[in-house]
């Protein structure tokens, strides 16, 4: 075992692990404004499979309120060293970054690793004996091939900035690596989308879907994802028939796609990429080339076999050409992983040792193949496979499934958005009960407006006032699309589930308030929109600037104007009465 100490701000870095056969060298390659980047070089005297290596350091627990990880949802509290497991990061799970934030949402200590492909374990936990946070990054937990040389960089940021800015800068840092360069994002990826899943599940009927497309288009939606069920007449919500992808239910597939296009909508199909059901022809063909056959859903393809990758790529290529699809929802990517019964050793038919590196090859080839046919193709991935590596292959990231949970949807959108750069960030599909009041139904939509809305309700069945609400806020989103998708985004109070969010660009400011908190206005904007994402009808605003005269208009959630007057926006507090889930618009006079 080997331990090497290297000085970093406020502490030392230790490298623990590896045999004497390996030589390590850690040196600082960048330092500015309390941001440091360290490069670790590892060389082997003789090629050898490395044992796990841990890079670790500690920092004083000064003014730390919580801990941000990419997919912790509501669990952003401080963790002690005796509880919970470290965060796992790999190509299709999370991102190798952790941020400690302070009591004013300020960055306290954000660290990240450049290796977003292979499995890592990361954590930052407090030790009660000395009130220090112990940070670590563990490598080589899944290494099965011999190592000659290895290089990796670690970025540590202790700068004074909002924690979301520190996270955003990590994302920009990753983009500079050639093997993490993000994919092109077509316009359709940044457009509201209709999904069949929550309301139809596998009960798909062509004429009904075409009518829903017509209604959705009229409400401002421009694409539809046909989810699970199109490929089979089996309604068991299982995956026994996955792997062949010869449609039984939507059997006149090209005709159906043409009819969708005639409504003005683009169309994408869902695929469960890793699964090969035992009732499929593919299962017989690829017997012995699975990562596991003991998965709860279906056997999992082993992408280390080039024959497997070629088969999967050709499925999507053929669908794109033969059916004239516009996009794909590629699902369950995170199930490409090491299982207890997975073959560890590379055999003669494989061209990769590493499952993660094989997934990288598969998805890279999928994206290049599809874009060569249609440069505007959209590819959706969902949390947790929304990390920097996945930005290479997908141009749409969706919040993980949270039906009917507007708060979770809001949190997950914000968590993805801070790391996603220009990759489109979509809500989980919005859904609600038809007997819900329009204001409560509006909560589902208003909570998602800082992402791209996806909706999954049967439009022909919802009440008329619900349709008015959907149209009003979808139209609002489309009008403000550039600000929302490319503006400067700040989510506040992560431990309180981001009850205040804002985005600004070119003098336009949009603020969402989702609990009874004071809304702060800190800039002299031309337009200020306040989304009242709650059922209470009072919004308290505190301005830190003398911004001058504005016209103020309030709307209810169906777009009906409820009040209009002029206001002098001075420093200090003022209160605005606004309908539940309504909108306040201030325009400079």
Cα separation, 517 vs 539, whole angstroms: 8
pLDDT (average), residues 364-375: 98
Cα separation, 435 vs 445, whole angstroms: 16
Q: Would you say the C-alpha torsion 189, 336, 203, 207 has a positive or negative sign?
A: positive
pLDDT (average), residues 366-386: 97
Which two structure tokens, joined as six digits, stand for 560? 């009906």
pTM of the model: 0.95
Cα separation, 238 vs 244, whole angstroms: 14
Q: Is the pLDDT of residue 8 over 60?
A: no
Interior angle at CA 248, CA 242 and CA 253, nearest 5: 105
CB < 8 Å & 24+ apart, contacts of 164-168: 164/105, 164/418, 164/489, 164/490, 164/491, 165/107, 166/99, 166/107, 166/110, 167/68, 167/97, 167/99, 167/110, 167/418, 167/419, 168/418, 168/419
297 φ/ψ angles, rounded to the nearest 5 degrees: -100, -55
- Determine contact, residues 485/433, Cβ cutoff 8 Å: no
- Determine contact, residues 133/124, Cβ cutoff 8 Å: yes
Q: Select the more confidently predicted residue: 286 or 229.
A: 286
- Of 411, 406, 474, 400, nearest to 436 by C-alpha is 406
Q: Using a pLDDT cut of 90, give the percent of the chain over it.
A: 91
Cα separation, 439 vs 537, whole angstroms: 11
- Of 156, 122, 143, nearest to 29 by C-alpha is 156
Would you tell me how many other CB atoms lie within 10 Å of the CB of residue 572?
10
pLDDT (average), residues 449-460: 97
Would you tell me how many other CB atoms lie within 10 Å of the CB of residue 163?
27
- Determine contact, residues 156/111, Cβ cutoff 8 Å: yes
- Determine contact, residues 191/396, Cβ cutoff 8 Å: no
Q: What pLDDT does 514 receive?
A: 98
Cα separation, 410 vs 431, whole angstroms: 14
Which two structure tokens, joined as six digits, stand for 214? 């017509």
pLDDT (average), residues 540-555: 96
Q: Which residues pair with 500 in a beta bridge?
A: 492, 513
Q: CB-side exposure of 447: number of CA atoms within 13 Å?
A: 31
527-532 vs 583-588, strand pairing mode: antiparallel
Q: Which of 80-84, 100-104, 524-528 has the lowest mean pLDDT?
A: 80-84
Each residue of 309-364: pLDDT tens digit?
A: 999 999 999 999 999 999 999 999 999 999 999 999 899 999 999 999 999 999 99
Q: Using a pLDDT cut of 70, give the percent of the chain over it.
A: 97
Q: Select the more confidently predicted residue: 547 or 258.
A: 258
Q: Which of 244-253, 254-263, 266-275, 503-512 has the lowest mean pLDDT?
A: 244-253
Q: Select the more confidently predicted residue: 249 or 99.
A: 99
Q: What pLDDT does 84 receive?
A: 75
Q: What pLDDT does 9 receive?
A: 43
Q: What pLDDT does 237 receive?
A: 61
223-226 vs 193-195, strand pairing mode: parallel
454 φ/ψ angles, rounded to the nearest 5 degrees: -115, 140
Q: What pLDDT does 249 receive?
A: 85
Each residue of 24-35: pLDDT tens digit?
A: 999 999 999 999
Q: What pLDDT does 162 receive?
A: 98
Each residue of 251-261: pLDDT tens digit?
A: 899 999 999 99
Q: What pLDDT does 85 receive?
A: 87
Interior angle at CA 136, CA 135 and CA 141, nearest 5: 160
Cα separation, 440 vs 181, whole angstroms: 41
Under the banding of pLDDT at 50, 70 and 90, the label for residue 283 is: very high
The distance of Cα 521 from the centroid of its chain, to the nearest Å, equals 28
- Determine contact, residues 168/418, Cβ cutoff 8 Å: yes
Which two structure tokens, joined as six digits, stand for 136? 């670590």
Q: Rg of the Cα trace of the chain?
A: 25
- Determine contact, residues 507/487, Cβ cutoff 8 Å: no
pLDDT (average), residues 548-562: 97
Each residue of 106-153: pLDDT tens digit?
A: 999 999 999 999 999 999 999 999 999 999 999 998 877 889 999 999
Which two structure tokens, joined as six digits, stand for 372? 């060569």
Close Cβ partners of 388 (under 8 Å, ≥ 6 residues apart): 95, 116, 171, 174, 175, 180, 419
Cα separation, 2 vs 305, whole angstroms: 36
In the predicted model, what is the mean pLDDT of the chain?
95
Under the banding of pLDDT at 50, 70 and 90, the label for residue 10 is: very low
Each residue of 456-485: pLDDT tens digit?
A: 999 999 999 999 999 999 999 999 999 999
Using DSSP's 3-state secondary structure scheme, residue 504 falls into strand
Q: Is the pLDDT of residue 5 over 60?
A: no
Q: Please tell me whether the peptide bond between 384 and the residue prior to it is cis, using omega within 30 degrees of 0.
A: yes
- Of 100, 132, 136, nearest to 121 by C-alpha is 136
């Amino acid at each position: 075992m080997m331990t090497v100490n290297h000085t970093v701000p406020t502490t030392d870095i230790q490298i623990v692990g590896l045999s004497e056969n390996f030589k390590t060298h850690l040196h600082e390659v960048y330092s500015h404004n309390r941001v440091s980047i360290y490069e670790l070089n590892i060389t082997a005297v003789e090629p050898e499979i490395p044992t796990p290596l841990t890079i670790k350091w500690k920092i004083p627990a000064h003014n730390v309120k919580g801990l941000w990880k990419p997919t912790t949802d509501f669990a952003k509290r401080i963790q002690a060293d005796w509880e919970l497991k470290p965060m796992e990061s790999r190509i299709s799970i999370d991102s190798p970054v952790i941020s400690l934030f302070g009591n004013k949402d300020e960055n306290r200590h954000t660290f990240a690793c450049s290796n977003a492909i292979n499995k890592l374990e990361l954590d930052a936990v407090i030790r009660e004996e000395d009130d220090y946070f112990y940070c670590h990054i563990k490598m080589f937990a899944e290494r099965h091939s011999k190592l000659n040389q290895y290089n990796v960089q670690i970025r540590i940021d202790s700068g004074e900035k909002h924690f979301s800015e520190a996270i955003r800068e990590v994302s920009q840092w990753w983009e500079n690596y050639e093997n993490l360069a993000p994919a092109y994002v077509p316009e359709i990826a940044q457009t509201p989308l209709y999904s069949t899943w929550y309301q139809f599940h596998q009960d798909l009927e062509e004429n009904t879907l075409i009518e829903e497309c017509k209604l959705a288009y009229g409400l401002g939606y421009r694409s539809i994802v046909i989810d699970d069920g199109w490929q089979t007449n089996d309604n068991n919500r299982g995956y026994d028939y996955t792997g062949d992808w010869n449609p039984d239910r939507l059997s006149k597939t090209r005709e159906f796609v043409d009819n969708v296009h005639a409504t003005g909508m683009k169309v994408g199909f869902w695929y469960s990429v890793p699964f090969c059901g035992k009732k499929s022809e593919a299962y017989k063909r690829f017997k012995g080339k699975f990562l596991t056959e003991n998965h709860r859903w279906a056997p999992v393809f082993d992408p280390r076999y080039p024959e497997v990758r070629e088969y999967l790529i050709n499925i999507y290529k053929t669908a794109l050409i033969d059916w004239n699809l516009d996009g794909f929802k590629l699902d369950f990517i995170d199930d490409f992983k090491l299982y207890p019964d997975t073959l560890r050793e590379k055999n003669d038919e494989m061209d990769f040792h590493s499952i993660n590196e094989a997934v990288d090859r598969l998805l890279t080839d999928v994206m290049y193949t599809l874009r060569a046919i249609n440069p505007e193709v959209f590819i959706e991935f969902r949390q947790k496979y929304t990390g920097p590596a996945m930005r290479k292959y997908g141009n749409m990231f969706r919040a993980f499934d949270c039906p009917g949970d507007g708060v979770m949807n809001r949190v997950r959108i914000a968590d993805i958005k801070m790391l996603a750069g220009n990759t489109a960030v979509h809500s989980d599909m919005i859904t609600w009960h038809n007997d819900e009041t329009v204001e409560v139904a509006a909560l589902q939509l208003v909570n998602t407006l800082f992402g791209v809305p996806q909706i999954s309700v049967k439009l022909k069945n919802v009440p008329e006032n619900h349709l008015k609400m959907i149209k009003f806020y979808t139209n609002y989103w489309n009008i403000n699309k550039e600000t929302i998708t490319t503006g400067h985004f700040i989510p506040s109070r992560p431990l309180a589930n981001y009850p205040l969010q804002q985005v600004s660009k070119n003098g336009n400011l949009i603020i969402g308030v989702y609990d009874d908190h004071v809304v702060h206005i800190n800039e002299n904007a031309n337009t200020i929109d306040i989304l009242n994402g709650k059922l209470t009808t009072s919004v308290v605003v505190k301005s830190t600037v003398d911004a001058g005269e504005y016209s103020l208009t309030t709307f209810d959630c169906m777009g009906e104007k409820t009040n209009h007057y002029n206001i002098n926006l001075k420093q200090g507090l003022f209160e605005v009465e606004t309908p539940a889930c309504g909108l306040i618009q201030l325009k400079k006079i």
